[in-house]
Amino acid sequence: MKLPLPQSLAGKAFVAFVLGAASVPGFAPFYFFPLPIVTLALLLCLWNQLERRLAAFLVGFAFGLGLFGFGTSWVYVSLHDFGAMPVLLAGVATLLFCAILALYPAFAGLFLATIKTSPLPKQLLVFPALWVLLEWIRSWLFTGFPWLAVGYSQVPLSPLAGYAPLLGVFGVSFFCALSAGLLSLMIGMHALRKRCVLLLVALWLAGFGLKQIEWTQPSGSALEVSLLQGNIPQEIKWREDQLVNTLETYRRLVDESTGQLIILPETAFPLFYHHVPTIYLEKFTAHAKKNGGDLLIGLPERTDNNHYYNSVLSFGSSPTQIYRKSHLVPFGEFIPLRPVFGWLLDVLQIPLLDFSRGSPEQQPLKVAGQQVAVNICYEDAFGEEVISQLPQATLLANFSNDAWFGKSMAPMQHLQISQMRALETGRYMLRATNTGVTAVINPRGEVLSQLPLFTTATLRHEVRGYAGATPYVLWGNYAVLLLCTLAITANFMRSRRLLSQAR
């Protein structure tokens, strides 16, 4: 079966752009998980019709523009609506950001066109390995931005999510790309169709079987948690005339909380820790002790040597402990290459820029009879950083302020990222956010309970600490990187063997 694809490069690029945009509903909040696999398969069909490397690069770039242009359009909201960047400049910055991200699928097309091999190994070995390696590079290059890695789309509904506790999100991406390769072969090579169907069914059945395995075990007794969502609008959060209202909102929510573990979101108070009125912290401590547990609150912190940290502090039955954010947001929490980009300080009217980085070797906080692995904001987008506190940690907790993203898809996309972390680690993930999505996620990556966006409320739920380690906790991303290396090596060895036989 030959697909009726355009013959011109411009036509193919347009189709690729549409395919990239059509991939977005595969992620939260829509969760149509087969979509990204189908669009990747059709992208492969486009690449298979191209011989020139530049053409393959441009088609991949168009796919990336569609994917990130629609999937991360919320960057504009952060820059313009809340960062006070002028409309035109915010639009250009967002387009440039999406264009940079689009280079990754563009290079996937370029490298795929460069490697000369037969369709079977190219689509089943080379393509999955290239796609995953480029996603992995995107997760750390220039501090990293792993948003919309295709593996996230499979959590929690798809059978392919079963591979997450073994190989993490990039392992799931590998099997998504492999599934796409099998689909493209079914479309383009009739003789292989039956075998491709069998392989595809086996791949998904194996994932379904893996989903049935309990990799970790409950530990200790159950506890009630109270997750507080203050719903302080971002546009008034830092205004002095709103400070009392913010303090009183959280005081009331704390007073109503019955959980042994009470969690307030990132920068719950727009004050440095040492500026918070003592009476509030004393009341919080007394209330947590009365509940027989502890309270965790996100607060900015300034130390004696004039360093600033985005921190989480504990108060209550246990001694006060501090977690300081390690993975900072460029242009949100610090200005990289200040001599080059320092002018942005005059444009981005965001307070508290240039935080210092907390130690990457911080230990879980021992609170409410649990060991809680804290991650702040989009730190939970980096799986290997989260597992650095495991297997000691019994719970995961994310402290976020997704109000920066307004009424966009970003808060739900961020929730899906947290779902992946819970599944990878076999732990409950507790999310406390300012405006949403505040949620409790179980070790299978399923949302058990969540608060509506933009509401002031407390989410109460009973959870259990978990012990043990998934394979991913033990070996991190090394296993999937080895898998990619083996796939490329196998193709290289096959090509050499065929070349030797031809001689």
Catalytic sites, residue numbers: 266, 325, 377
The structure tokens listed for 1 are 């079966």
> To 5 degrees, how large is the angle CA 155–CA 159–CA 164?
55
Structure tokens at 317: 């039955």
The CA distances from residue 129 to 38, 277, 486, in Å, are: 18, 54, 9
What is residue 233's three-state secondary structure? coil
Distance CA 75, CA 206 (A): 37
Are 383 and 474 in contact by the 8 Å Cβ rule? The answer is no
Tokens for 419?
Answer: 């779902």
Q: How is residue 46 written in tokens?
A: 């486009």
**348, 349, 311, 354: which is closest to 334 by C-alpha?**
354
240 burial class (0-12, 13-18, 19+ CB within 10 angstroms)? exposed
What span, in angstroms and rounded, lies between the C-alpha atoms of 487 and 125? 5
**Which secondary structure element, helix H or strand E, spans residue 72, and what is its range?**
none
Q: How many residues does the chain have?
A: 503
Phi, psi of 294 (to 5 degrees): -140, 165
In one-letter notation, the amino acid at residue 130 is: L
Distance CA 224, CA 232 (A): 25
Distance CA 60, CA 67 (A): 11
List the beta bridge partners of residue 447.
441
Element (H, E) at 155: none
With residue 301 as reference, give the H or E element that holds it: strand 294-302
Four-CA torsion 311, 72, 430, 264, nearest 10 degrees = 40
- List helix spans (H) across 256-291: 278-290
259: Cα separation from own chain's centroid: 28
C-alpha separations of 252 from 256, 257, 316 in Å? 6, 9, 17
Distance (Å, whole) CA 3 – CA 15: 12
